[in-house]
Amino acid sequence: MPPLSADMIARFKTIVGDKYAVTDPTDVAPYVTEDRNLFHGRSPLVLRPGSTAEVAAICQLATAARIALVPQGGNTGLVGGQTPLNGEVVVSLQRMDKLRDIDLASNTMTVEAGMILQNAQGHAADADRLFPLSLGAQGSCTIGGNLSTNAGGTAALAYGLARDMALGLEVVLADGRILNGLSKLKKDNTGYDLRDLFIGAEGTLGIITAATLKLFPKPRAVETGFVGLKSPEDALKLLDIARSEAAGALTSFELIADIAVRFSVALGNRDPLQSKHDWYVLIELSSSRADCRDTLEAILSRGLEEALIDDAVMAENLSQRAALWKLREEISPAQKPEGGSIKHDVSVPVAAVPAFIADANEAVVKLIPGARPVPFGHLGDGNIHYNISQPVGADTAAFLARWHEVNAVVFAIVMKMGGSISAEHGIGLLKAAELPGVKDPVAMQLMRSLKTMLDPLGIMNPGKVLLAHPHP
């Protein structure tokens, strides 16, 4: 981007106030870097609007001056979608964090896009309800970011993705118009569903400023188990038993390779089982009406009887449950001490997960001898975080330089199995180059047409999702 003039910076400052226009490089730094250290951006200006009207005014001025914007929530994204790579103006929604409404009759709450996910969960709990979206970054990610990437999380098996939890949106378009779609209605067949255009669009079509979210009955009972077993095939059979026994009470079913557990244990977590196993499953049941401990015991008993389970433990209290989830949630940070990690967020049909892991392991180790696959994730919905740690003692920079080469090998297996190269993290910049090779050509044409219609100047998060935007 061309340098932003002092006059233009002053005009943006007039919209949000001097206090909320950040220009000092030290203060800008947290907005242009991200936790995985993959993307290093730059920006002359970070704007922190406090209202939808201010966001609209920012977009109006940006359109008039042809200045590119990068919307940003908690800056926890994993694919570079929130990073201003070319000197764009950052629009941080973090100040817009108000609870606008809770309606218990319709089981909804309306929140602003900058609300931290954990705070949204807390507001629901205070009203004796559940907002079930749950992520490792829930203490810092925001609702707007969750919706913009269509986040999944550990409860997607029972409740779906972020898209499934939103009834309506308020969105500011590139030209500053405000789409008022904060509907509480579950039934509304009045034309095209515009809401779904913006969920998962990663800020390339508009800026989500508020959302009406679904609430659910608050669980009265939660039971958690940790299982050691021999293979993903056995885990898949155990999943079938769990679905049969628990039905709708099955909320999480996480598959974890032994190497992932070892990494997490090395970070200070405790292995709850007495001996090592090749694979593990973290299983959780929840119910709003009845105790589900007997159900979990029945699942584990059947697993033992059918020789699917080698060992298992059930959490006896809240602290033990928290420890089990901490072991799972710290797998990603536990890979940092092991050196470079090439990460994949993929999905395949649930029945194909064991074959995918086996084929990908073989292909990756053949490509890079000594590479250490670290597969884990949401077996119940086919979403596997297929991460690969560098060979012990290898040069980290040289290993990471082969990121796209490894992508090609893994993605080929994913596509052969009818899967997706992005299950819940989005496309951003990380996967934008690969997207045309795996997406239906007509779908790509439609995506570009929508981008051209809603953002004709290409100022909304340019270069993300769609690498090249043909201007009219």
CATH of the domain at 80: 3.30.43.10
Domain boundary among 35, 66, 92: 92
Q: How confident is the model at residue 1 (pLDDT cuts 50, 70, 90)?
A: low
Pick the closest to residue 341 from 371, 383, 376, 379 (CA basis): 371
Residue 463 within any structural domain of the chain: no
226-255 tens-digit pLDDT: 999 999 999 999 999 999 999 889 999 999
CATH number at residue 384: 3.30.70.2740
pLDDT tens track for 412-433? 999 999 999 998 999 999 899 9
Q: How far apart are the first and last CA of the chain?
A: 19
- Looking up residue 296, the CATH number of its domain turns out to be 3.30.70.2190
For residue 37, what pLDDT band results from cuts at 50, 70 and 90?
A: confident
The answer to whether 83 and 429 have CB atoms below 8 angstroms apart is: yes
Main-chain dihedrals φ then ψ at residue 167, nearest 5 degrees: -95, -30
Q: Are residues 162 and 247 in the same domain?
A: no
Residue written as tokens 């974890």? Answer: 256
- Regarding whether 364 and 266 lie in a shared domain, the answer is no
What single-letter amino acid sits at 58?
I
352 and 326 part of one domain: no
pLDDT value at 257 more than 80? yes
Cα separation, 191 vs 134, whole angstroms: 32
As a whole number of angstroms, the distance between CA 411 and CA 402 comes to 14
Please tell me whether residues 320 and 279 are part of one structural domain: yes
The model's pLDDT over 38-52, given as tens digits with 9 standing for 90+, comes to: 888 999 999 999 999
- Rounded-to-integer distance, Cα 154 and Cα 464, Å: 26
13, 121: one domain: no
Is residue 452 domain-resident?
A: no
- Per-residue pLDDT at 329 exceeds 60: yes
Neighbouring CB atoms inside 10 A of 148's CB total 31
| Tokens (6 digits) for 86 | 């070319």
Last residue of a domain, which of 92, 107, 140?
92
The reported pLDDT for the residue numbered 468 is 60
Given a cut of 60, whether residue 472 has pLDDT beyond it is no
Task: Select the highest-mean-pLDDT range: 45-54, 151-160, 463-472.
Answer: 45-54
Residue with tokens 């928290």: 322
Rounded distance between C-alpha atoms, residue 197 and residue 260, angstroms: 36
Q: How far apart are CA 219 and CA 269, in angstroms?
A: 27
- Residue pLDDT, tens place only, 100-125: 999 999 999 999 999 999 999 999 99
11 and 35 fall within a common domain? yes
Question: Do 229 and 212 fall within a single domain?
Answer: no
Q: What is the pLDDT of residues 178-225, one digit of tens each?
A: 999 999 999 999 999 899 999 999 999 999 999 999 999 999 999 999
pLDDT in tens, 345-399: 999 999 999 999 999 999 999 999 999 999 999 999 999 999 999 999 999 999 9
Q: What is the CATH number of the domain that holds 209?
A: 3.30.465.10
From the centroid of its chain, how far is CA 298?
Answer: 32
Query: Is 462 domain-assigned?
Result: no
Q: Are residues 327 and 372 in the same domain?
A: no
Q: pTM (2 decimals)?
A: 0.92
Position with higher pLDDT, 136 vs 307:
307
Q: Can you name the residues that pair with 373 across neighbouring β-strands? A: 388
Task: Let me know whether 354 and 276 are in one domain.
Answer: no
pLDDT at 354: 98
- 290: helix, strand or coil: coil
pLDDT score recorded for residue 124: 98
Whole-number pLDDT of residue 471 = 38
In-domain check, residue 438: no
**The tokens of 46 are what?**
């970070």
Give the mean pLDDT of 270-279: 95
Counted domains in the chain: 4
Say if residue 122 is in the same domain as residue 53. no
- Domain-located, residue 451: no
Q: Which of 162, 184, 217 is the last residue of a domain?
A: 217
Distance CA 17, CA 470 (A): 35
Q: How confident is the prediction for the chain on average, in pLDDT?
A: 95
| Mean pLDDT, residues 326-345 taken together | 94
Q: Does a structural domain hold residue 73?
A: yes
Q: Is residue 60 part of a domain?
A: yes
Task: Look at residue 408 and tell me whether its pLDDT is greater than 50.
Answer: yes
Residues 314, 347 within the same domain: no
- Together in a domain, 237 and 202: no
Confidence at residue 470, expressed as pLDDT on a 0 to 100 scale: 41
By residue range, what is the domain housing residue 250? 221-334
Q: Closest Cα to residue 44, out of 55, 32, 57, 56? A: 32
Q: Do the domain assignments include residue 39? A: yes
* Both tokens assigned to 347: 């999905």
Residue 463 token pair: 């270069």
Neighbour tally for 427: CB within 10 Å: 25
